[in-house]
Amino acid sequence: MPAAADAPDAPDAPDNRHARARPGAVTPLTAVLLRRRNLVDAAALTPPVRRSAWHWLRRPLTIQAGLSALQADLIQRGYLLSVDLYRHCSALSAPALAGFGVALLDLLDAESGFDTEHTPLFRDFPESVPGNTETFYINRVFARLLQESDQPCVLCGDTRTVHPVAPCAHLVCRTCWDGADLSACPLCLRRIDPNDPFLQPSAEAEQPTHVRSDRLRLLSLATRDSARQTAEALLQRRAPLSASDRTDLLTLLDGADSSWLPADIPVRETRALVLARFLPDDPELIDRTDTATDVLRLIHALMDADPGLRTPPARRKSLPRATRRLLLQRLDRMPAETLIEDLLRHERAWKRIAENLHPFEFAARFPVAALAFAILRRTDLELSTPAGRAIAAEASRHPFVRLADGRLVMTTFAARVESAFARDRPDQALDLLRQRPGELVRRLVHLARTLPPEHHALLVEALTTAASDVSPAVLTAALGQVRTPPGDLRLFFPRGATARVWTAVDEREPIPSGLASALSGVLTGEMLRRATDLPRWRRAFLDEELTRLAAPASERTASSSLLRMTRGSAVPIPQDEMLRLFLHWVEPSGRRIDLDLSVAVFDDEWGFVGLCDYTRLRFDEDALVHSGDLTSAPAPGGGSTEFVDLDLRALRRVGGRYVLPVVFSYNDVPFDVLERGFVGVMRQPDGLFDPAAVDERFDLSGPAKILMPFGVDLRTKELRWYDVNLGAAGYGHNIARYGGRLGLMSATLEEVYGSGDRVSLWEICCWHAAARTDEIAVRCADGSVVGYLRDVAEDVAAFARRVTARLEPDRAWDEDAASRSDFVAVLTGDVTPRPGTEVFALHPRLLDRGSVALVDAPQLLAGLAPDTRARASLGAS
């Protein structure tokens, strides 16, 4: 029995249903809670120790020494123990504390990337990186092409120092190439056997002597409800989840039952994933599918495929007969017209699935479903068969179905809308779209640009009616589009397994200013109306820096990362900051993968200034310094790591403004083949790899071969989130080949996201605050705090406009206003809110989840959902 069970003051342990592995072992659930919420599943990490084995060791001095050692190790990684977690550790025996500490540190190291040995090509990086890359390259070529065994070195002429290295067998001169600095074969740059005599011991890396206090984060103790609360937060999101979030959700639900499911799961992809998990045990859950597309998503999830329908199942998985009947029965109960439209909307996917469902086998029992598939597959109607007669009888009941050339056909709603636009009749399209509020809001900008002025009032009236039933994510997307004037370029994200970007010249006409203002007012007014229904606050505290963060949106193609920001968001960087980029990867056995970490620099007009990659290891001396190119990453050797140091002040000096880090798969191998791969950034690291300085880390995944994780604007001192991929084909991917596309893509991203027209997280927080309190304290960029007070005669919309636009405040406020507020929204958790306060903090730092209610950006948006049940989940008293 763990010692924690004997401690009378020990907090509740996590739900044991999830702790399937023995205590002291790292379970997937433990890793998810730590990664997502900095919660420590102490019961799962604490190993069992028999009382007879440790009772005599339980002395204050021994435990205190162990706690001090654990805290010192945690501080080096940028973490501190919360009060509750410290109390739990102090109640453990010495052996149990040691086991707990080892397991916890292993988890933290795996999350930051510190669990592997990061050895660059030049082990004394950055000091030993050669200043002349061309000379380094020429020497490599000469030695590789001209060197013969038992011959003098072609570079220095020494006759006794040339020996082969393992396993590549290249002939390497021990005099010309420094085995104490180089970590790979200097000729082919592939990893060599760690026991090869060429490799000489190098100086041990010094451990950091201290950690900056602003880098410390708090670890809190998980409770028995932590897994359920984390799962519920994901289930209630109003935007599609990323692949990593879906994996985490399934981990959280492992061992749970359908009672965990809320009454409403708003995102249909998430709903399909969860229903597939519980459907075998609870077939009645099939009734939670509202449309045929919901059923298609469910089928994809049952086949272990993408419920987002972006890619077909990798292999056709046979479904049990009972499951097929259940699915067809659900389709048969749907209205025939909408069922057929849904099938035609995903025609190719449904045709593949029909080969599994065999709908005509059950035509007599499920005639509506059989009719829909007959129209989908353009089946010849054969009245001589029982299935044909059942389909014909069902078709006769629906006037929208007609017979043409022996086949049943139907004109869909989408076709009628497109036909109206094609015939230059947007008024007819508006009349049709009134029937479907979500489609009307999605086509709002198209309608606003095509409707004649005399119909503008009708559009505003139609939007006012439709907006009350539409998801907040759709409303915020529409609001951003309405407010954004046409620019030089347009930005598109085509559907797919990775976030690819396509740009085109923007030739659209602007929306009339009066109409744009009216539509924006309707959309904003609807969000304020929903927020008004939420519980009241006495005071709200907002950080002006939230204007840098984009409103939550779809996360389908987002990479797994430490921070969870929406694409287009930006975070500030100090003016004289030194950044260190890192790339680590491990290739599978039998396949070589050559990844390259590269940096491109552009000026104010996106003119190319310079680069730093394997072709140029130094740019402007120390402005950019590359650790050296490694061309393989075998698993037995721990993989490979490349670094690039960025001196932002030096880059400004040479005329650089935009700095773009890029990861290339040089030999055209997709990232999802890797055993492991990630890229990240450290701020002013102390040592080669400083886990406390890791500011962000992206996992390399999916079929992409080129990733641009972020860009740095040296003028605005911002690091903007991109997380986008370039299409790639062929061999030899590098900046020289893709520099123009990189500049065009980044210029478009900066233009679209940097204009300030898109909805920001600041606006969402202002909507909440203006509708729920009469006192709002705002922390300005210079650190001062001002206050906005709502007058009795001032309506909510006018109050929200004042705060959102940061107009003249009503008064100055005390800097400790956050400690007297019911809601706090800040970029960095450097405030001291009172217990129970709802807090959003991109960087929670030392905020204790056991004391305050930390919410994330998707929860803030979900609180503005059209149904009261979802809204009540945020701020319920």
Q: Determine the number of helices (DSSP H) and then strands (DSSP E) in the chain.
A: 29, 28
**What is the rounded CA–CA span in Å between residue 239 and residue 474?**
9
Does residue 228 register a pLDDT over 70?
yes
The predicted model gives 833-849 an average pLDDT of 91
Does residue 78 register a pLDDT over 50?
yes
Which of 513, 460, 468, 521 has its CA nearest to residue 801? 521
pLDDT at residue 207 in the model: 60
pLDDT at residue 19 in the model: 37
Count of CA atoms in the C-beta half-sphere (13 A) of 842: 25
Residue 133 near residue 127 (C-beta atoms within 8 A): no
Residue 505 pLDDT grade (very low, low, confident, very high; cuts 50, 70, 90):
confident
Question: Which single residue is written with the structure tokens 């190993």?
Answer: 47
**Which has the minimum average pLDDT: 271-275, 718-722, 752-756?**
752-756
Which of 672, 671, 655 has its CA nearest to residue 663? 671
pLDDT at residue 488 in the model: 73
**What is the rounded CA–CA span in Å between residue 526 and residue 479?**
11
Distance of CA 736 to the CA centre of its chain: 29
Instruction: Provide the b/e sequence for 652-688 (b: ≥16 CB within 10 Å).
Output: eeeebbbbbbbbbbbbebbbeebebbbbbbbbebbeb
Tokens for 324, please give them: 């097929």
**Which has the minimum average pLDDT: 329-343, 480-494, 638-652, 797-811?**
480-494
Residue 699 near residue 721 (C-beta atoms within 8 A): no
Can you tell me whether residue 544 is helix, strand or coil?
Answer: helix
Task: Cite the DSSP H helix spans in 358-412.
Answer: 367-376, 386-395
Residue 439 pLDDT grade (very low, low, confident, very high; cuts 50, 70, 90):
very high
SS (H, E, C) 157-179: CCCCCEEECCCCCCEEECCCCCC
Does residue 751 register a pLDDT over 90?
no
Q: Mean pLDDT, the chain, as a whole number?
A: 87
Question: Which single residue is written with the structure tokens 């700095």?
Answer: 659
> For domain 570-746, which CATH number applies: 3.40.109.10, 3.40.1160.10, 2.60.60.30, 3.20.20.70?
2.60.60.30
pLDDT at residue 544 in the model: 95
Which of 470, 396, 39, 484 has its CA nearest to residue 252? 39
Question: Which single residue is written with the structure tokens 């998990």?
Answer: 277
**What is the rounded CA–CA span in Å between residue 325 and residue 151?**
77
Residue 8 pLDDT grade (very low, low, confident, very high; cuts 50, 70, 90):
very low
Does residue 449 register a pLDDT over 60?
yes
Count of CA atoms in the C-beta half-sphere (13 A) of 440: 26
pLDDT at residue 871 in the model: 40
Does residue 623 register a pLDDT over 90?
yes
Residue 307 near residue 269 (C-beta atoms within 8 A): yes
* pLDDT over 70, % of the chain: 92
DSSP code per residue over 92-124: S-HHHHHHHHHHHHHHHHHHHTTTS----SBTT
pLDDT at residue 206 in the model: 60
**What is the rounded CA–CA span in Å between residue 577 and residue 717?**
10
pTM of the model: 0.86
Q: Which residues pair with 707 in a beta bridge?
A: 663, 725
Residue 107 near residue 74 (C-beta atoms within 8 A): no
Question: Which single residue is written with the structure tokens 């084909």?
Answer: 729
| DSSP state at residue 308 | T
Instruction: Provide the b/e sequence for 610-627 (b: ≥16 CB within 10 Å).
Output: bbbbbbbbbbbeebbbbb
Virtual torsion, Cα 51, 53, 58, 59, nearest 10 deg: 150
The amino acid at residue 297 is R
Inter-helix orientation angle 226-235/243-253, to 10°: 140
Taking the domains of the chain in order of start, what are their residue ranges? Answer: 267-410, 413-470, 531-550+759-872, 570-746
The predicted model gives 52-75 an average pLDDT of 70
Which of 84, 89, 113 has its CA nearest to residue 102? 89
**DSSP3 helix / strand / coil % (the chain, rounded to 5):** 40, 15, 45
**What is the rounded CA–CA span in Å between residue 511 and residue 521?**
15
Can you tell me whether residue 76 is helix, strand or coil?
Answer: helix
Residues 6+ apart with CB under 8 A from 304: 313, 317
The predicted model gives 3-9 an average pLDDT of 34
H helix or E strand, kind and range, residue 414:
helix 413-422
Q: Which residues pair with 645 in a beta bridge?
A: 580, 625
Taking phi over 0 as left and psi of -120 to 50 as alpha, with beta for the rest, 242 belongs to beta
pLDDT at residue 54 in the model: 43
Does residue 11 register a pLDDT over 80?
no
Residue 699 pLDDT grade (very low, low, confident, very high; cuts 50, 70, 90):
confident
Does residue 25 register a pLDDT over 70?
no
Does residue 641 register a pLDDT over 90?
yes
Residue 214 pLDDT grade (very low, low, confident, very high; cuts 50, 70, 90):
confident
| DSSP state at residue 634 | B
Residue 725 near residue 708 (C-beta atoms within 8 A): yes
pLDDT at residue 557 in the model: 63
pLDDT at residue 13 in the model: 39
Question: Which single residue is written with the structure tokens 């605005």?
Answer: 716
| DSSP state at residue 659 | E
**What is the rounded CA–CA span in Å between residue 816 and residue 124?**
46
Strands 608-612, 676-683: pairing is: unpaired
Residue 15 pLDDT grade (very low, low, confident, very high; cuts 50, 70, 90):
very low
Give the residue with greater pLDDT, 756 vs 259.
Answer: 259
Task: Cite the DSSP H helix spans in 434-551.
Answer: 437-442, 444-450, 456-466, 472-483, 513-532
Residues 6+ apart with CB under 8 A from 246: 270, 273
Cα-based distances in Å from 442 to 447, 636, 860: 10, 52, 22
Does residue 241 register a pLDDT over 50?
yes
Does residue 212 register a pLDDT over 70?
yes
Does residue 742 register a pLDDT over 50?
yes
**What is the rounded CA–CA span in Å between residue 645 and residue 659?**
12
Task: Kindly tell me the sign of the dihedral angle through the C-alpha atoms of 560, 564, 569, 575.
Answer: negative
The predicted model gives 252-271 an average pLDDT of 89
- Ranges assigned E (strand) in 550-635: 570-572, 578-586, 595-602, 608-612, 618-619, 624-626
**What is the rounded CA–CA span in Å between residue 364 and residue 487?**
57
Residue 872 pLDDT grade (very low, low, confident, very high; cuts 50, 70, 90):
very low
**What is the rounded CA–CA span in Å between residue 217 and residue 579?**
20
The predicted model gives 142-170 an average pLDDT of 91
Q: Which residues pair with 492 in a beta bridge?
A: 502
- Environment class of 730 (CB within 10 Å of its CB; exposed 0-12, middle 13-18, buried 19+): exposed
Q: Which residues pair with 581 in a beta bridge?
A: 644, 681
**What is the rounded CA–CA span in Å between residue 518 and residue 532?**
21
Which of 807, 814, 821 has its CA nearest to residue 776? 821
Task: Cite the DSSP H helix spans in 313-403.
Answer: 321-332, 336-345, 347-357, 367-376, 386-395
Does residue 616 register a pLDDT over 70?
yes
The predicted model gives 213-233 an average pLDDT of 89
Inter-helix orientation angle 796-804/761-772, to 10°: 140
The predicted model gives 318-329 an average pLDDT of 91
The predicted model gives 117-123 an average pLDDT of 92
